[in-house]
Amino acid sequence: MVDNGVRPDNLTYTAVIHGYSTLGQWKKATKMFREMTSRGLVPNTVTWNSFMASLCKHGRSKEAAKFLHSMAAKGHKPDVVSYRVLLQGYATEGCFADMVDLYNSMASNGIVPNCQVFNILVDAYAKRGMMDEAMLIFTEMRGQGLSPDV
């Protein structure tokens, strides 16, 4: 593409970053992210989320959290997917306190949890043997009008 004189745009970079992320090649995803910004292109929420997912899949949730905070600082409001990605990363890595803190910050940032967010929390509490807390989360989910899925 570049060899033929076609400049990559946001969509192109986002697709490449997502592709590398999906393949678990976060170093290449990082390189593309940096190249994108060095060319004056501004990543959108989908780009940020894809990059954060790559970091989380490789056990780098703390680094992904920095990107979540960078998003807001650079004028991009993290969405429920941004939070879900990081919550899952924290849960997978066993960073339970960070997961709970992030969940608690969602409401103050205007983010309404969806079924996937509640699934992550219920699973994390259950894996820690905290069944009463898991049931409270389940009840909260139902209280928000969400129906449990399989």
Domain boundaries, the chain: 10-112
The pLDDT of residue 97 is 95
Secondary structure letter of residue 120 according to DSSP? H
The pLDDT of residue 133 is 94
Report CA-CA distances (Å) from 129 to 50, 85, 98: 31, 23, 18
User: Which fold would CATH assign to domain 10-112?
Assistant: 1.25.40
Contact, 71 vs 82, CB < 8 A? yes
Contact, 113 vs 106, CB < 8 A? yes
* pTM, entire model: 0.85
The pLDDT of residue 20 is 87
The pLDDT of residue 149 is 79
Residues of the chain with pLDDT under 70: none
How does pLDDT run across 63-96, given as a tens digit for each residue? 999 989 888 787 788 999 999 999 999 999 999 9
The pLDDT of residue 18 is 85
The 3 state secondary structure assigned to 32-99 is: HHHHHHHCCCCCCHHHHHHHHHHHHHCCCHHHHHHHHHHHHHCCCCCCHHHHHHHHHHHHHHCCHHHH
The pLDDT of residue 137 is 94
The pLDDT of residue 11 is 92
The pLDDT of residue 25 is 84
